[in-house]
Amino acid sequence: MARVFITGSADGLGMMAARLIAADGHRVVLHARNRARGKDAMSRVPGAESLVTGDLSTITGTTQVAEQVNALGKFDAVIHNAAVGYREPNKALTADGLPQVFAVNSLAPYILTCLIAKPARLIYVSSGLHQSGDTSLKDLVWAARPWNGMSAYADSKLHNVLLAFAVARKWPDVLSNALEPGWVATKMGGPGAPDSLEEGPKTQVWLATSNDKDAMVSGKYFYHRKLRKFNPAASDTGVQEQYIAECARISGVVLP
């Protein structure tokens, strides 16, 4: 039996993954932005063990989420699922003055990875859009670039793969992988998304709980439980180190 924490599991693919994990007899801890959403999520995931709440758009809120998770004890896997979409016409800034897309999608997984006690497995939910992310990593917070929500989202999904691969390299005792669930009809994906919604959460569940030899790997990128081509820059250790250093500078949190 595995014990799994999933960020952003109050709805969408995160909730679907939580339901599958609980239905398979594993222990799952949910995360929601606030208590109201969390209470609703707990009622919709039969068998969920408990709930962590906190706003991943701020450095303080993300740190508090990590503290709550650590207070619950050891986890076998953490699925970094929480994300915001790319349809914002304007650059929404957080309390820390960061674009929300970067804060939630990129920086929060980094901070949580740094601060949550090492699980046996780490899973980062990326997107096929990471292929068009900016590999130069210049101006991560869009201070000088004219805002483009789609590009900001693509950048953030590249950041997820960079982080997964950097952790796989730095922490050989942890299985760290990234995946794309496909373009599916969640609230973020929209009703016209062409991929299978049913398949959407299965790869992250498999990576978190399965003992199949194909799941017991690290530094890989998946789509529907199969290896998938990824942006070559993600495996560049120099780019990885540049990204980790920028996250540390922005957040004040250093990767152990």
Helix (H, G, I), strand (E, B) or coil at 55: coil
Residue 104: DSSP 8-state:
I
3-state SS, one letter per residue, for 188-213: CCCCCCCCCCCCCCHHHHHHHHCCCC
Cα gap 76→27, rounded to integer Å: 10
129 close to 153: Cβ distance less than 8 angstroms:
yes
The token duo for 42 is 């707990």
Residue 184 CA from chain centroid, whole number: 16
Catalytic residues: 153, 157
